[in-house]
Structure 1
Amino acid sequence: MGQWINSGHGRSGLFILASTLLLIGGRVLDGHGTLSLGFSAAGGLIALLALLLRAFSARKGPLSIRAAETKLLYCQLIATFGLVLYGLQRTLFSECDSQLFTLALWIAWPIFWIVGTVAMVVLDFATDPMRLAGAAETRRVSSATRAGLTVGLALCLLVVVNFLATRHNQYQDWAYFQTARPGSATMNSVKHLDEAVEVLLFFPRANDVGERVATYLTALNNASEHFSVQSLDRLMNPVQARKHRVRRDGTIVIARGERRESWTLSTELKKARRQLAKLDQEFFKRFNKVVAERRNAYLVTGHREINEAVADDGSHSRKKDRVVREVLGYLGYNIKNLGGGQGLSNAVPKDADLVMILGPQEAFLPGETEALTSYLENGGRVLIGLEPEGQALPTQLAELLGVQLVKDKVLHSRFHLRRKFDLSDRELIVFILFSSHPSVKTLSRASRKVAVAFDGVGHLKKGLGKGGQVARKIDFTVRSVADSWADKNGDREFNKDSEKRRVYNLIAAITLNAKDKGDKDGAGRAVVVADSGLFADEFMRSRGNLFLLNDSLRFLQGQEALAGTIESEEDKAVQHTRDEDVIWFYGTVFLVPLGVLGLGLGFIRRRRRGLAKTQQNKGQST
């Protein structure tokens, strides 16, 4: 035993034994008091003994291998320094106020220990035959030292990468099919929770669909202390399953107190792909039903609005507000109609949190105008979508809001969609110019990715407010590009003599004076859009239009902080503007064939040059 300890392997073995005892005492037996202290003390003493033996060998050992033993001593000193840092991190600095210093110790001690230990072991194995021979090979010692340090540093790189991966845990899905990620609207809703919400996932163990849903919820779980996620096996937790009325695997339950919402996904990945692609959309809808206060949204009827199923030459043969109703449902609104039969001629119902007027084609009665004006003056919230072919704002309402509709349609020769491939397409304008107002918060942040599409839009201008004063605050949130024009004669062509190319205001956000100046929540708010067609189902397929509606509703209710996007990985039909169509046309008809032809000619020319050079070389050799 004594001979083994005095050998090089013995001293390295003692050090590794000491390190093992220290790690067991500090980690495995942490919290066991005397037992933990005993293992740690034994490890420290053995490490000190191994270091003293190594120092004695370097100083008193055979002269021929003393240089190699000195290098071994240096390596063991580095490794021992790592153990000292480990001890400091576990004792003196375990509750250090400086988080940065604690992290530095946490990652420094294994680096020193690994570099010193690996280099020591490699060099020890290389030096052992030299001890027996009584002579040292300088090159072999240097080579072994470099090899040991290289391997040790490579292992340290893994330690650093593992540390960074632990501290910055991120999940990336590079598959063609991906699960939707939490959108900013969902994240903002979770961040502003003030009561505990629990999400229960009833999936079998090791289920692919369950793992994808859990990954989606991880980001939300980290966003708020009031949000928690629990994965349960339905068969192993029958009490919880009965409590939440879960009868099938794949059920997701969102619960807050006595309120709960649930829906079921397929547990087979192939069948659940479409559901996972729209997971954020579905979760946002269910989540808001649980956490949002129920509000009442009244849709005005009786004037041939787009939310009425009134036959009129086929233009109103069916309702066009299905998507609008879905969005209102996501945000926690109860949807009701408001017309003459519901008392609009007298007053807007007291429980109305929102009134929507979408494309009226007929004039309002005086009593209806008076009721809407009074509702706004008393802090009401109204979303108004007008039509160039429809009715303008009633005079009394326009004076209160301070804006009026100009019915000349705004056109553009390039920034428009394609539908009939004629001049009428110029009415389908697409714009990405948004202000920084809260009612277009999401659009302004994502303006390079999304746009708002209009279907024959007029434009707005300021008018005198009630009592000869301009309305309290008017913000034009969406504008046309600079070379748009208002079509005065309806020919859809630009006429230099009567029409001007300039920027036109398309949407206005208005905040009225509150009766009590200190009551910000009591101020009336309105969003006026110069084209109600963008709220029709056909145009609500555009993400930009959806963002506009969502942000406008959040602004009207004073919930600007909750505005954001809803993510979806579902494939969408691609729509191109006229400029994009031109690029695709010329690219596929001319550029691609010319590119293929050029590559072919280049290859043939290169091949001919090679053949000519070969023949030339043969002629010279002959």
Structure 2
Amino acid sequence: MAMRTATPWWLTWQHLLALLILFVAQRFLGHWSTLQLVATIASVAAIAATLGLRVVAVIRTATDRRAVERTLLLATIGSIAGIALWFLTTKTGAGIVGAGHLSAKGARRWDVSLTVLAAIVSLASIVPMVMIEATLGLARRDRFDLDVKGSDDAVEHRRVREVGLSGLTIALAGALLMVTCNVAGERNLRKDVSYFKTSSPGASTKNILKNTSEPIKVLLFFPEVNEVKDELEAYFEDLKDATHKVEIEAHDPIVAAGLATDYGVKEQGVVVLVRGDKHEKIPMDTDIERARRATKSTTKPSLRTFDGAVNAALMKLVRAKRVAYLTVGHGEINDPDSLDPRLREQLPDARANTLKDILRAQNYEIKNLGAMDGLADDVPEDATLVMVLGPRTALGDDELAALDRYVARGGSLLLALDPVSDATMGPLEGRLAVRFDHTPIADDKEFLPSGGPQVALTNQFSSHASITTLARAASNRGIPLVKAGTLEDAPYTGDGAEPKKTYVIRSMSTSFRDLNDNQKFDDGEKRDRYNIAAAIEGPKPAPVEGADPAEAKDGFRAMVFSDVDLFADRMGMQGRQILVYRETNGGPLPDDALRWLGGEENYAGDITSELDVAIRHSKKEDAWWFLLTIVGAP
């Protein structure tokens, strides 16, 4: 028999629809403020009307009919209580109860606790309400009947109560699952033992943040539930713990449409780093399989190279763009097309694409500097750094004189030479007190088997800020010297005090100058540790007459290398590894060298990458592996 209640069936569904509209208005209509306001007012009015009608129904009815209406009233009040608890998580609600000045950690606890509590209360109210309505049915319940107080139309309150309690049980079971999942998420212990893991914050990235005065805000625009977001949150939590200068916020760009618009975010899967009024975006794949895959994309990094992307973004935030001039017109590795084609065919193919990527990552603007660009007259005033990368033909006297004047007034110069060239240092030899010897070195004990003795290996690095990462890994990381020349002391011919000079890279003690270029150790040749790279700091230049002493520049900084291949793209089994690999023959050498030359040695350190890099064995190591295979395996 149908049960005739004092209120119609559609009153409950109107209430639930109003709750849904309120939820949509607050979660999805943030960027349409007028529509959001209208929807909110309409839904709140409908909820209030439902509450009022439920109260009237309880007052105007009796016996079992009143008990049923009282049960529906309690469920309605519970759903409204859930809304009230959710309101306290908003900025306005927290301010009303005095929770608006909590710390970041306290505010997160407040938000999580009340959100979970609001969900539990709402679930425990709405589920029983829906199940009671399903039990009461639709027949004879299409209008209000507040005047009937008799029991001639039976209402089985016991059945309604049992159904309501069943709904409450289901709701509480669901609430238990929600709480359990939340606790598991908060107390989650993550340990990725697979090779394909997300890169962790590198020393360079940590140093950048430690040396900045203003914290960085991290905005993660991802779906509410997303594995890539979880990986990135773990990365930034590690960075936060190490530096205490990171604030992390996660937003769904659909929900927080207004905030997403402010930062130009048009899709899900974007990390925004904010410092003051500046921000940088790092787009990511939202699919975990694609995000973990090695990629050569410079616009969308993978999780395995994410630290490099963060490092580059931070450099753009913490300081203004600088200018790096690369000389051209002499067959440099950054300008190989300037060589005669017949001569170029006789020389190894060397490029500087990776080095240019490193410069851009450190927020340098790259400009060419040749005779047509004014090198014969002078180095431009806006130059932060000048790089001469393996000229095959000699620079003109006027060009060398311009570089000498640039260094004398406190400039920064990276000079990488190569034995297979006609290049000389000219007046820079006396200015820097370093001479370049074109005789190539060889090492018949420690070398790459694929390249021969003139591709010697070395791990002899001094403790200097220009090679921080190499020095820390010296015991297990060597670099190849591809037909390298050598450096030696030269008389200082500059003005004032002699510059401070440190030889930062040397060859192994088994190496020798290959005087006859036959890759064999012959009589008259000497095994020794030969100088490969020098870091030179000059005295402060003489002050300009009438200038403010406080504005006086520091002394010059220069690095001289006898092997330009240290800055060339590394070749391997997978072809030229550039962009994603950010790897040169010198490994992390260019990163730290450029930071030191730019006066940013505080930012030096490794940039973590989880990409698979080929293992390079020396001839001695290969011999041991061969012996173990033949003797040890049987």
TM-score, normalization: structure 2? 0.63
1:231 and 2:262 equivalent? no
Percent identity between the aligned chains?
32
Q: 1:507 aligns with which of 516, 533, 552?
A: 533
- Name 2:500's counterpart in structure 1: 473
1:562 and 2:600 equivalent? no
Residue type matched to 2:424 in 1?
L
Alpha-carbon separation, structure 1, partners of 2:630 and 2:197: 34
- Name 1:535's counterpart in structure 2: 567
- Contact in 2 for aligned 1:554/1:562 (Cα 8 Å): yes
Q: 1:396 aligns with which of 424, 427, 450?
A: 427
Alpha-carbon separation, structure 1, partners of 2:486 and 2:348: 27
| Residues 8-38 of structure 1: per-residue CA shift (max 9 Å, x gap) | xxxxxxxxxxxxxxxxxxxxxxxxxxxxxxx
Q: 1:568 to 1:467 in 2, by over 3 A?
A: closer
1:193: how far off?
1.2
Q: State the number of aligned residues.
A: 421
SS in 1 for 2:588: helix
The structure in which a higher percent of residues are helix is: 1
SS in 2 for 1:454: strand
- Contact in 2 for aligned 1:443/1:544 (Cα 8 Å): no
Alpha-carbon separation, structure 1, partners of 2:236 and 2:327: 38
Q: 1:550 aligns with which of 591, 604, 617?
A: 591
1:433 and 2:464 equivalent? no
- Contact in 1 for aligned 2:446/2:510 (Cα 8 Å): no
Residue type matched to 2:312 in 1?
K
| Residues 94-147 of structure 1: per-residue CA shift (max 9 Å, x gap) | xxxxxxxxxxxxxxxxxxxxxxxxxxxxxxxxxxxxxxxxxxxxxxxxxxxxxx
- Name 1:462's counterpart in structure 2: 489
- Name 1:575's counterpart in structure 2: 616
1:393: how far off?
3.0
Matches within 5 A, 1:96-495: 172-274=191-293, 275-310=302-337, 311=341, 312-314=343-345, 320-419=351-450, 425-466=452-493, 471-495=498-522
- Contact in 2 for aligned 1:410/1:427 (Cα 8 Å): yes
SS in 2 for 1:588: helix
Residue type matched to 2:265 in 1?
V
- Contact in 2 for aligned 1:296/1:352 (Cα 8 Å): yes
Residue type matched to 1:538 in 2?
R
1:544: how far off?
7.3
1:171: how far off?
5.4
Alpha-carbon separation, structure 1, partners of 2:529 and 2:254: 63
SS in 1 for 2:482: coil
- Contact in 2 for aligned 1:550/1:563 (Cα 8 Å): yes
Q: 1:188 to 1:553 in 2, by over 3 A?
A: same
Residue type matched to 1:271 in 2?
R
Q: 1:338 to 1:450 in 2, by over 3 A?
A: same
Matches within 5 A, 1:11-22: none
Q: Which moved more, 1:221-230 or 1:466-475?
A: 466-475
Question: Relative CO higher for 1 or 2, CA cutoff 8 Å, sep ≥ 6?
Answer: 2
- Contact in 2 for aligned 1:443/1:450 (Cα 8 Å): yes
1:571: how far off?
1.3
1:576: how far off?
1.8
Residue type matched to 2:565 in 1?
G
1:331: how far off?
0.6
Structure 1: runs of 5 or more not aligned? 1-167, 595-622
Matches within 5 A, 1:60-75: none
- Contact in 1 for aligned 2:566/2:585 (Cα 8 Å): no
1:245: how far off?
1.6
1:448: how far off?
2.2
1:371: how far off?
0.7
Alpha-carbon separation, structure 2, partners of 1:319 and 1:583: 32
1:301: how far off?
0.8
1:172: how far off?
3.5
| Residues 169-192 of structure 1: per-residue CA shift (max 9 Å, x gap) | 985422342111011011111111
Q: 1:316 to 1:406 in 2, by over 3 A?
A: closer
Residue type matched to 2:593 in 1?
S
Residue type matched to 1:322 in 2?
N
1:570: how far off?
1.3
Q: 1:304 to 1:470 in 2, by over 3 A?
A: farther
Residue type matched to 2:211 in 1?
H
Q: 1:386 to 1:169 in 2, by over 3 A?
A: farther
Alpha-carbon separation, structure 2, partners of 1:283 and 1:180: 11
1:200: how far off?
0.7
Alpha-carbon separation, structure 2, partners of 1:389 and 1:211: 51
Alpha-carbon separation, structure 1, partners of 2:495 and 2:379: 26
Q: 1:325 to 1:569 in 2, by over 3 A?
A: same
- Contact in 2 for aligned 1:306/1:316 (Cα 8 Å): no
Residue type matched to 2:448 in 1?
L
1:461: how far off?
0.3
Alpha-carbon separation, structure 1, partners of 2:190 and 2:384: 40
| Residues 389-445 of structure 1: per-residue CA shift (max 9 Å, x gap) | 21343331111110011111111112111325xxxx111111111111111122111
SS in 1 for 2:236: helix
Q: Which moved more, 1:505-514 or 1:443-452?
A: 443-452
- Contact in 2 for aligned 1:292/1:331 (Cα 8 Å): no
Alpha-carbon separation, structure 2, partners of 1:283 and 1:240: 21
- Contact in 1 for aligned 2:388/2:416 (Cα 8 Å): yes
Residue type matched to 1:566 in 2?
I
Alpha-carbon separation, structure 1, partners of 2:220 and 2:629: 49
- Contact in 1 for aligned 2:497/2:539 (Cα 8 Å): no
- Name 1:523's counterpart in structure 2: 555
